Structure 1
Amino acid sequence: MIAKRFDVLLLDLDGVVYLGDEPLPDAVDSINRLYELDKEIRFLTNDPRPTRRTIASDLRELGINAQEDEIVTAGWATAKYLAQQGVTTAAVVGSEGLETELQSEGVEVTDSDPEAMVVGADEGTSYRDIRRATRHIDQGAVFVGTNPDGSFPTPDGPAPGAGAVVRAVEAAAGTEPTVVGKPEPLMFEMALNGLGDDVRAVVIGDTPATDVLGAHRAGHTGILVADEEPTAASARDLQVPDLTISTLADLFTEGIETWESPPYSWPDEIRPGVAAVVRNDADEVLLMKRADKRQWALPMGSVERCEPVREAISREVMEETGLHVEVEELAGVYSHPAQQVFSYSSGKTVHFVTNCFRCTIEEGTPEADEEEALEVGFFDVNDLPPDILSMQPQWIADAIDISGSPAVR
């Protein structure tokens, strides 16, 4: 039985337990059966408007004996996050429920020089609210979004969610927010707080982009409630569920493979990249010890907007080493996430699709750019430094032995 394989079940609400004011088929009986099996249950919702107390009361009216401490909302999680960061004052775009949760965690709601600008939403959100939020952020308030959902389900179809307002403020303020709700791992960590480090948790939701992705980013199995299996461009997409069920009653059947975290993070964006295998007259290859990774690597970087790849190669080599090079031919194209997903100190995670070219030196003597490299030098291809980026010996081998078509990895 699926349910018996997990200690904690993290259940989304809208689209899993109820839709509008009505419970979904089998939801109430299934949740009560989970209680009878002594399972820990947490109800997670990205809806930042209601308080936890309100949701617990609503669930009890449906016949589910939920307690307030079993509820995790995006609003409450945002309040906990701000309190953990030492924030004591915040302006709010959102509901009275969101303000109540902030105040319960010791965060005063004010428009007088707030430390943080919290952006959620409710039915009364207006252009004036977006303008007010933009002004506070411009004056130095930390921008925090409750959740990224552009919409949420209703019996009449999707309705605009807090994410739509967050993105409007982001566009107006010209800065990105810290987002607390799903699919960010923080909300799942809060849900499991106090339950032990070795609990087996499963996330059950109806949205691949928030529930399943969030489960996998947090290291948990993700189950999707849907009538049909979702489609994805790649099996490696973290939004692909481990199982799709039609109702919560399916939790009492057999068959699921638990999630195993892959050796890469979920990227925030995909960028075209370039790398250069530059050899000297002795057939040695040029490497630089990168300041960001503190590992040896080929000269490499991003392709900028409207920039041809050949010009990007020449520019990157010049900026990083001071050499003028002639770009000879494409050696390979590389995009495997285990090798091409990088996380940076800024918090961004980027998946590069890198075009690697074989190049020769036209003029110049290599010198390390202080911002990019600690050292720069030439190395025998059979005696590369041990702390070279793991995928690049293969790139170098592909560039040296080009036979027919470029490598595609």
Structure 2
Amino acid sequence: MVLQNGMVSEQFDAFLLDLDGVVYLGDEALPEAVESVNRLDERDKELRFLTNDPRPQRQTIANNLRKLGIDAEEDEIITSGWATARYLSQQDVTTAAVVGSEGLEIELQEEGIEVTDDDPNAMVVGADEKTSYQDIQRAARHIHRGATFVGTNPDGSFPTPDGPAPGAGGIVRAVEAAAGTEPTVVGKPEPLMFEMALDGLADDVQAVVIGDNPATDVLGAHRAGITGILVAEDEPTAASARDLQQPDLTISTLANLFTDTTGTWEAPPYSWPDEIRPGVAAVVVNNADEVLLLKRADKEQWALPTGTVERCEPVGDAITREVEEETGLQIAVERLMGVYSHPEQQVFSYPSGKAVHFVTNCFRCTIEGGTPEADEEEALEVGFFDMNDLPSDILPMQPQWIADANDTDGSPAIR
């Protein structure tokens, strides 16, 4: 939903509120926070309180909110620890080892998961003040022996009245480095916590996330398809207008939910990438000026030969290697004819759930030797096509690449 002119409090049915830095800081409520939350409650808004802190039980947080003057119930609290326990239960995990707090262990147990170091199904990594080197070592060993690696949340730190304190994300990354394996992360900015927060509400409910961290609250909201509002004194400056961490609106306190505002952010038609990779592509032409295409096995669409650049590999070497591996042809590179990185065309999501943004260098190439043959793992077919009569089921961005290859002015296209 795009924010309209008017009060935010009137535009949404459900308010997903971050806690640290939005409602309170340490043991103290932030200015106007309690009054604003209670005004939303009085207007019959659905309230959910989200925190990436995996240490406390939900009931403890509900009790603390009531002490501040907010009448919160346990089922309105979504912690990364509880969300991790619920996720594992949904995955039919029955045993888990834990690096983290007693509260995290209790949340797992209440979801029917036995906490044990005896051949666990999962290795859950959160954190508390007692986390040690031995805990990191224990976690890495369980993962090495086959336990599924699950991190409660990615936060390297969290706010306190005395400044930032180390968060669970630092421990998760230490275990990742020791185990050499990436975890499944449950907490913000992953969409799962937001989906759990909305579970049980009507499908057409209009929801908004309000948080103080663009990299977790706003990004997570946008990844889940929800409006994201930032609580901060100053408007953040994103590196790109396409950045999903850019909030729909920035407010200084929750009281601004009841004043007239407007926002402009609109959901982009691509996933937020987990990483950026250098890529290469080849427009290989034969003596008849026909272009080489492969019917890709993964997408069952026609496409140019493409690939990634390995570490310390020049892009020219990368494309000659990729073409030979995919088709058996030896090629000569004529020229660089374009560099492509537009996210609507160059962000790809994989079955693993990871999204990658490719910055692709595309070359016009000629054939030096070999006979075109399909690599069974990469392509179903290989063929040459008239550049003015390309197959209809070609990857949508590549006809433009092929057209750019015929541009004779010598300047590479940048798209």
TM-score normalised over the length of structure 1 = 0.99
Whether 1:41 and 2:47 are equivalent positions in the alignment is yes
Other structure's SS at 1:171 match: helix
Partner residue in 2 for 1:268: 274
Instruction: Work out the CA distance in 2 between the residues paired with 1:362 and 1:164.
Output: 51
Instruction: Work out the CA distance in 2 between the residues paired with 1:402 and 1:158.
Output: 56
Instruction: Work out the CA distance in 2 between the residues paired with 1:227 and 1:90.
Output: 41
Question: Any idea what the Cα deviations from partners look like across 1:186-231, whole Å, max 9, x if unmatched?
Answer: 1100000000211111000000110000000000000000111111
Other structure's SS at 1:403 match: coil
Q: 2:244 aligns with which of 220, 238, 243?
A: 238
Give the drift of 1:255.
2.1
Other structure's SS at 1:97 match: helix
Whether 1:327 and 2:327 are equivalent positions in the alignment is no
Whether 1:216 and 2:213 are equivalent positions in the alignment is no
Partner residue in 2 for 1:383: 389
Q: 1:361 aligns with which of 367, 372, 377?
A: 367
Q: 1:5 aligns with which of 8, 11, 18?
A: 11
Q: CA RMSD in A?
A: 0.9
Instruction: Work out the CA distance in 2 between the residues paired with 1:276 and 1:193.
Output: 47
Give the drift of 1:257.
3.4
8 Å CA contact retained: 1:221, 1:258: no
Partner residue in 1 for 2:316: 310
Question: Any idea what the Cα deviations from partners look like across 1:56-115, whole Å, max 9, x if unmatched?
Answer: 000000000111110000000000001100011111100010011111110111111111
Q: Tell me the amino acid that sits aligned with residue 283 of structure 1.
A: D
Residue pairs, 1:7-406, within 5 angstroms: 7-257=13-263, 260-406=266-412
8 Å CA contact retained: 2:247, 2:265: no
Instruction: Work out the CA distance in 2 between the residues paired with 1:358 and 1:31.
Output: 60
- Structure 1 residue runs of 4+, over 6 Å off? none
Other structure's SS at 2:261 match: coil
Give the drift of 1:263.
1.3
Instruction: Work out the CA distance in 1 between the residues paired with 2:197 and 2:257.
Output: 20
Instruction: Work out the CA distance in 1 between the residues paired with 2:238 and 2:330.
Output: 43
8 Å CA contact retained: 1:219, 1:259: no
Q: Tell me the amino acid that sits aligned with residue 29 of structure 1.
A: E
Give the drift of 1:258.
7.0
Q: Tell me the amino acid that sits aligned with residue 227 of structure 1.
A: E
Q: Tell me the amino acid that sits aligned with residue 138 of structure 1.
A: H
TM-score normalised over the length of structure 2 = 0.97
Partner residue in 1 for 2:4: none
Instruction: Work out the CA distance in 1 between the residues paired with 2:147 and 2:279.
Output: 35
Unaligned runs of 5+ in 2: 1-6
Other structure's SS at 1:234 match: coil
8 Å CA contact retained: 1:220, 1:259: no
Other structure's SS at 1:32 match: helix
Aligned residues: 409
Other structure's SS at 1:230 match: coil
Identity over aligned pairs, percent? 81
Other structure's SS at 1:270 match: strand
Question: Any idea what the Cα deviations from partners look like across 1:363-395, whole Å, max 9, x if unmatched?
Answer: 111111111111110001111011101000000
Instruction: Work out the CA distance in 2 between the residues paired with 1:253 and 1:204.
Output: 15
Partner residue in 1 for 2:3: none
Unaligned runs of 5+ in 1: none
Instruction: Work out the CA distance in 2 between the residues paired with 1:112 and 1:308.
Output: 48
